[in-house]
Amino acid sequence: MTEFMGYRRPDGRVGVRNIVAVVSAMDNTNPCANRIANIVDGATAIATPFGRTQIGYDFEMTLRTLSGIGAHPNVAAVLVLGLSLVTAEALATRIRPSGKPVKILGLQEAGSTMALTTEGVRITADLVVAASEQSRELCDFSELIIAVECGGSDTTSGMASNPTVGLFADRFIDEGGTIILSEPAEFMGAEHILASRAVNPKDGERIFQMVKWFEDEAKRNGVDMRGTNPTPDNIDGGLTTLEEKSLGAIAKGGSRPIVEVIDYSEPPTKAGLVIMNTPSAACESMTGLLGGGSHMIIFSTGRGNAIGAPISPTIKITGNPHTAATMRENIDIDVSAIITDGEALETAADHLWNEMIKIARGKITRCEVLQEDQLSVSRFGPSV
């Protein structure tokens, strides 16, 4: 596979970015994390709307996601903020095995938000300067994890952008890389196709179970997912049935065998096509993909969706000529020539491949330059 110059981390993984993350362990230190990152060039704030009084699976999911982001190979160093040093350390302890520098600060120990911000800026600036000294080294693309996502789907998604991403995914996997396909609620009506491709029959059964769980939860709350899909914006974009939408959604995962099924924010342990259990809301899904270590996210959109993820460059691709024109500032790759000029899917996939290489080597995506990113950790129960 093609080689590139990346950042080798102490745990052996490789990064395509060299970011210092200012991670807020809970909602009440988010303003300080945002202020610090706004002041220090080269720093990114990781702020969660929750973190306090969560219990059970929700608490574990928040910790797993935030620690996964802190340990992410695109992150060079981390400053963790907490209401106290105890809460900051609880998260930092889960990041430190990555071997990267991890510092902590507590609001109560600092004395005030201004004092915390001042000290945080000093520490973060030092971390950024130290990170800038790290040299890139030769790495192989087979070491990368790329996630595939979609949002604002329409007819062109199933005809152009998603199949293009699928061909890219097959090539990337054949070269030794890892692709993560998420949003099992979007598989509904086509889950049997994915389940039949699972190498382990237990993973195939889990795909059925994940789809059923989302459908049952929706019914429990009075929503018929099969009756309300496609959504109004999908229908406006030309989609007519749930099955049509689902077939388009799974197309972006390509055609290779499924080697593993993982939970939200879990890192893959095998190379190949991996399924991650995430909700279908883009921000929640991408946050899980980020927590699981995805180096980049390829986001296919039809009618238009501009949001991306922090830390992981989000590559926007569309096959809709109208969206490509009106959202030019937000789109990285326009494959609408498949629709308008009969361009071959293989040609479009080659274009995506070449763009991925450039971005891995340092080219900035539209989401990065416009700071179109958001974090949203999934939750399933109340805080107490």
pLDDT tens by residue, 179-193: 999 999 999 989 999
Give the span between the Cα atoms of 335 and 286, in whole angstroms: 23
Element (H, E) at 130: helix 113-132
Q: Are residues 106 and 57 in the same domain?
A: yes
Q: Is residue 375 assigned to a domain?
A: no
Residue tagged 């590559």 (tokens): 315
List pLDDT tens digits, range 98-138. 999 999 999 999 999 999 999 999 999 999 999 999 999 99
pLDDT one-digit tens code per residue, 153-167: 888 999 999 999 999
- The predicted pLDDT at position 115 comes to 98
CATH number at residue 62: 3.40.50
Contacts of 13 (CB under 8 A, 6+ apart): 73, 143, 293
Q: Is the pLDDT of residue 284 over 70?
A: yes
Domain membership of residue 4 (yes or no) is: no
Cis amide prior to 321 (ω within 30 degrees): no
* Number of domains forming the structure of the chain: 2
- 158 and 58 in one domain? no
Q: Are 195 and 275 in contact (CB under 8 A)?
A: no
At residue 216, what are phi and psi to the nearest 5 degrees?
-65, -40
Residues 52, 120: one domain? yes
For residue 243, what pLDDT is reported?
65
In a domain, 7, yes or no: no
Same domain, 110 and 212: no
- 170 and 120, same structural domain? no
Question: Are 220 and 325 found together in one domain?
Answer: yes
pLDDT at 1 over 60: no
**At which of 133, 164, 184 does a domain end?**
133
- The verdict on 73 and 189 lying in the same domain is no
Give tens-digit pLDDT for 9-48. Answer: 999 999 999 999 999 999 999 999 999 999 999 999 999 8
Q: Torsions phi, psi of 88, nearest 5?
A: -65, -40
Q: pLDDT at position 218, please?
A: 86
pLDDT per position as a tens digit, 60-71: 899 999 999 999
Name beta bridge partners: 124.
Answer: none
Are 160 and 339 contacting, i.e. CB atoms less than 8 angstroms apart? yes
Q: Which residues pair with 315 in a beta bridge?
A: 298
* pLDDT tens, residue by residue, 216-259: 988 898 887 776 666 666 666 565 666 677 888 899 999 999 99
Among 122, 125, 81, smallest CA distance to 104 is for: 81
> Cα(first)–Cα(last) distance of the chain, in Å?
50
Cβ neighbours, 10 Å, residue 290? 26
Nearest alpha carbon to residue 301 among 332, 347, 273, 341: 332
Domain boundary among 105, 133, 161: 133
Percent of the chain residues past pLDDT 90, beyond the cut: 83
**Cβ–Cβ under 8 Å, residues 23 and 44:** no
Structural domain harbouring 99: 19-133
pLDDT at residue number 248 = 84
Q: Which of 14-23, 53-62, 83-92, 341-350 has the weakest average pLDDT?
A: 53-62
Tokens at 261, concatenated: 């099924």
Q: Contact 249/153 with Cβ under 8 angstroms?
A: yes
Residue 54 has pLDDT above 80, yes or no: no
pLDDT at 56: 80
Domain boundary among 133, 148, 170: 133
Mean pLDDT of 196-222: 94
Q: Give the whole-angstrom CA distance, residue 289 versus residue 243.
A: 25
Note whether 34 and 170 are same-domain residues. Answer: no
Do 305 and 152 contact (CB within 8 A), yes or no?
A: yes
Q: Residue range 265-272: average pLDDT?
A: 97
What is d(CA 197, CA 296) in angstroms, rounded to the nearest whole number? 24
Closest Cα to residue 190, out of 107, 248, 272?
Answer: 248
The pTM of the whole model exceeds 0.75: yes
What sign for the dihedral angle of Cα 283, 285, 286, 287?
Answer: positive
- The whole-number pLDDT of residue 229 equals 64
Give the mean pLDDT of the chain: 93
Question: Alpha-carbon distance 247 to 236, whole Å?
Answer: 18
| Pairwise CA distance, residues 253 & 84, whole Å | 43
Quick one: pLDDT at residue 381? 73
